[in-house]
Homo-oligomer: A and B are copies of this chain.
Amino acid sequence: MFELSQLRCFVAVAEELHFGRAALRLNMTQPPLSRQIQILERVLDVRLLERSNRAVRLTPAGQRFLVDARHLLKLAESAAVLARRMASGKAGSINIGFTATSAYSYVPALVAACRRELPDVEISLKEMVSSEQLKRLDSGEIDIGLLRPPIPRGNLDAFRVTAEPLVTALPGDHPLAKAAELRLEDLAREPFIMYEPYEARYFHDLLVELFSRAGLVPNYAQHLAQIHSILAMVHSGVGVALVPEAAANLRFSGVVLRPVLMQWQRPAELFFVRRGDNDNPLLPVIAGVARDLAAQPGSIQSMDRSIQ
């Protein structure tokens, strides 16, 4: 089979229709160029150029082959460029897992930043609970997890990307909505909408500890896993709830969010997690983007901080 260097020789001769000038262009002398063309013709078993001692011209097969040769050279070049881009993490594809709640704050910001800074990167997003993400990280089905603690020891690299305070969600016409700030004790007296202990284990355990440390026993009206379901219940007057601040992005009409005073506080944390031995060259680049984004909290935790 022929080689790409021979194609370059052929294209030069076909364009110059003159071996001497083509050789000049290729930074070589005429005899080896003649030989390369001969080898190419012998390998193909096709006469590509008609050399009539006074003029060089393309045969019909040569004309056709010239098109293909140019095409091949162009493809080879772009394959090299693409490989370099992928190796440097400027292109490629990556699978990201995220929790349902992170979709209200961090995930859109991360995706937007990646689209802006890495336009040729294909990001595929999959919503799944934290434990599922850990499993899929291990199996390699996702490259990045955006998940809640706890993060098990092992070959996982992780860093925190958001830490949001919890705020109270209550119906707009609720008496407590008039206050600018609530205390945890106020909530314990109201019917309280709680997180599911399994599907929303992180928030469930967080609130359990919160109330337990404050010595309060809330009045659970309902258990739900999804924040939007919880806000819908609040809206219907079923009770009040504690939700991460980014829930403001849902703009649930008729529901107001109020800061809540607590003795013992712990923010809702989201971690960027990846396997230490994942060699996808995009990973360090996207991790950098994710870290930069986490460093400027204003733009992340809540895309619109006005709490109505």
Residues of chain A at the chain B interface (Cβ within 8 Å): 1-5, 8, 43-48, 50, 59-62, 64-65, 68-69, 71-72, 75-77, 79-80, 82-84, 86-87, 92, 279-282
Query: In the complex, A69→B62 CA distance in Å?
Result: 24
Q: Is the CB of A50 within 8 A of B4?
A: no
Tell which of B44, B86, B92, B280 touches A83, judged by Cβ atoms closer than 8 Å.
B44
Residues of B within 8 A of A44 (CB): 80, 83-84
Query: In the complex, A189→B4 CA distance in Å?
Result: 76
Q: Is the CB of B72 within 8 A of A86?
A: no
Q: Is the CB of B87 within 8 A of A47?
A: yes
Q: Is the CB of A61 within 8 A of B1?
A: no
Q: Is the CB of B1 within 8 A of A3?
A: no
Q: Is the CB of A79 within 8 A of B68?
A: yes
Q: Is the CB of B75 within 8 A of A75?
A: yes
A43 nearest in chain B by CB position: B80
Query: In the complex, A22→B234 CA distance in Å?
Result: 65
Q: Is the CB of B86 within 8 A of A60?
A: yes
Residues of B within 8 A of A82 (CB): 64-65, 68
What would be 16 A-B contacts, judged by CB atoms less than 8 Å apart? Answer: A2-B4, A44-B80, A44-B83, A48-B83, A50-B279, A59-B281, A60-B87, A61-B83, A61-B281, A65-B83, A65-B86, A68-B83, A69-B79, A71-B79, A72-B76, A75-B75
A78 nearest in chain B by CB position: B68
A287 to chain B: closest CB distance in Å? 15
Tell which of B2, B4, B281 touches A60, judged by Cβ atoms closer than 8 Å.
B281
Query: In the complex, A181→B198 CA distance in Å?
Result: 104
Query: In the complex, A46→B89 CA distance in Å?
Result: 11
Query: In the complex, A170→B170 CA distance in Å?
Result: 101
Q: A4-B3, A83-B65 are in contact. Are A92 and B46 (CB under 8 A)?
A: no
Residues of B within 8 A of A75 (CB): 68, 71-72, 75
Q: A60-B92, A60-B279, A82-B64 are in contact. Are A2 and B76 (CB under 8 A)?
A: yes
Query: In the complex, A64→B121 CA distance in Å?
Result: 13
Q: A60-B281, A92-B60, A279-B50 are in contact. Are A2 and B80 (CB under 8 A)?
A: yes
Tell which of B45, B48, B50, B86 touches A61, judged by Cβ atoms closer than 8 Å.
B86
Query: In the complex, A45→B50 CA distance in Å?
Result: 39
Q: A4-B4, A76-B2 are in contact. Are A279 and B59 (CB under 8 A)?
A: yes
A81 nearest in chain B by CB position: B44
Q: Is the CB of B64 within 8 A of A92?
A: yes
Q: Is the CB of A86 within 8 A of B71?
A: no
Q: Is the CB of A80 within 8 A of B3?
A: no
A89 to chain B: closest CB distance in Å? 9
Query: In the complex, A286→B43 CA distance in Å?
Result: 27
Residues of B within 8 A of A83 (CB): 44, 46, 48, 61-62, 64-65, 68
Q: A3-B3, A61-B281, A92-B64 are in contact. Are A46 and B79 (CB under 8 A)?
A: no
